[in-house]
Amino acid sequence: MLRDAWQHSPTHRRVWALAAPMILSNLSVPLVALVDSAVVGHLPHAYQLAAVAVGGSLYTLLVWAMGFLRMGSTGFAAQAAGRGDGGALRQILCQGLLLALGLALLLGLLAVPLSGVALGLMQPSAELNQLTRDFLATRLFGLPAALANYALVGWFLGTQNARAPLAILLTTNLINVLLALWFVLGLDWGVVGAARASVLAEWSGALLGLALTRKALLKYPGQVDWAALRRWLNWRPLLAVNRDIFIRTLALELVFFLVTVQGTRLGDATVAANALLLNGLLLTAHALDGLAHAVEALCGHAIGARDRTALRRSLVVAGGWSLLASLGFALFFLLAGPLFVQLQSDIPAVRAIAQIYLPYLALLPLIAVWSYVLDGLFIGATRAREMRNAMLLSVLLAIPLAWSLQSLGNHGLWLAFLCFMLLRGLCLGAIAWRLSYNDAWLRAAHA
């Protein structure tokens, strides 16, 4: 049965029609972090690179916590597209954008005091503390656009339109790269210049995305039911899914935050080295997420159309390609890891520390790939509660393990992180097997 699914050529074409543009656009996201690290990494002080790493982590904690704006929109939009329901697609788009605006305003008010608490826990040097605060304060001006981009990309992907997300993300990230080079090196604005580049780029992408929605809606005739948007009942399914994805994302972000905190306590050079290696994880995750996005869209569409065969074929084909891609990334980091580090920084202490821990980075793609694919399946099925439970269980199992490995220093930190990623895949796999055993996948969690 699996062999027959893998050999279905039309499914391979559909998977790559979605995955290829998303991989290309997703790879541009870690490219920005790599460019920021490379540009700032060639400034004279390690604390300048560390400020971008820590400040970027704090901003990412805020933005990625709102990742449900993309994931929630994708599942509902995919199922609406599978039913051919243009009215529902318009409602999902409006709800996503309204949520993005409201949450951006709320987070903007909370970000400064929360960042002060976070920096207090990290106990950074005085130089690192002030530069990080300046970087984050500037980045917050791009928050409304960043959240709107999440909602737009998720909605476009749900309609199986990968070209619009490609245009949004490439526009955002290429502008970011060009402005970062100009502001930091050309105008000598330093770390704050990198932040200003990101703000302008995020607003450029959001405006482009809004312009592209008009053409996309022509394929799905319908009208916005404005009265329905004012009724709480019509918000409940989306908010319920978003709530569970939010809790799941907070748990995931807690893990990344603890990695940054523990690395900071080991010294500025260590946190900078870990940041360079985590850029490699971002590179891998964003590439493999392109295939996971195809799983979300195709599986969600199959569930909306109640097509069991298409659901199985989409999962098998996308999962197979994900495994092959993860093997490629593992070989890349194993063979070209030192060059990967050298391109990002010329600070000797940072390079030396990063190269010690490269074997952990090489193992990560092979361990993490399963959680990416299964996340795509759960998102397409709008089964966010099960995703939430798997993540919480993984964190609860990983924290005691991490605590016991503290004496190993940075080696213990990386071992704990690898174990957490392994637990993610195992927990999601166990829940997926149970749902398959009960023949529950074609029953959407939120009708």
The pLDDT value given to residue 429: 93
Query: For residue range 59-95, what is the model confidence (pLDDT) as tens digits?
Result: 777 777 787 888 888 888 888 887 778 888 888 898 9
Residue 294 reports pLDDT greater than 60: yes
Please give the Cα distance from 445 to 447 (Å, whole number). Answer: 6
Q: Is residue 96 part of a domain?
A: yes
Residues 6+ apart with CB under 8 A from 96: 69, 72, 73, 150, 151, 152, 154, 155
Q: What ranges in 44-125 are assigned the alpha helix state H? A: 46-65, 68-83, 86-122
pLDDT average, residue stretch 286-303: 85
Q: Which domain holds residue 267?
A: 2-437
Q: Give domain status of residue 133, yes or no.
A: yes
| pTM of the full structure | 0.75
Q: Considering the domain boundaries, does residue 151 fall inside one?
A: yes
Instruction: Evaluate whether residue 445 is within a structural domain.
Output: no
What integer is the mean pLDDT of 339-362? 84
Residue 439 φ/ψ region, left for φ over 0, alpha for ψ in the -120 to 50 degree band, beta for the rest? left
Answer left, alpha or beta for residue 224, where phi above 0 means left and psi between -120 and 50 means alpha: beta
Within a domain: 447: no
Give ∠ CA 269-194-24 in degrees, rounded to 5.
95
Confidence of residue 447 (pLDDT cuts 50, 70, 90): very low
Instruction: Kindly report the average pLDDT of the chain as a whole number.
Output: 83
Phi, psi angle pair for 204, to nearest 5°:
-65, -45
Does a structural domain hold residue 416? Answer: yes
Whether the per-residue pLDDT at 108 is higher than 80: the answer is yes
Higher pLDDT, residue 198 or 441 = 198
Span 39-50, average pLDDT: 68
Q: Is residue 443 part of a domain?
A: no
- What is the structure's pLDDT at 127? 66
As a whole-number percent, the residues of the chain with pLDDT over 70 amount to: 90
Among 123, 56, 122, 50, smallest CA distance to 347 is for 50
Average pLDDT over residues 175-202: 84
**Cα atoms found within 13 Å of the Cα of residue 416, Cβ hemisphere only:** 25
pLDDT digits (tens, 9 = 90+) for 363-386: 999 999 999 999 989 988 888 899
Count of domains forming the chain: 1
Q: Is residue 446 part of a domain?
A: no
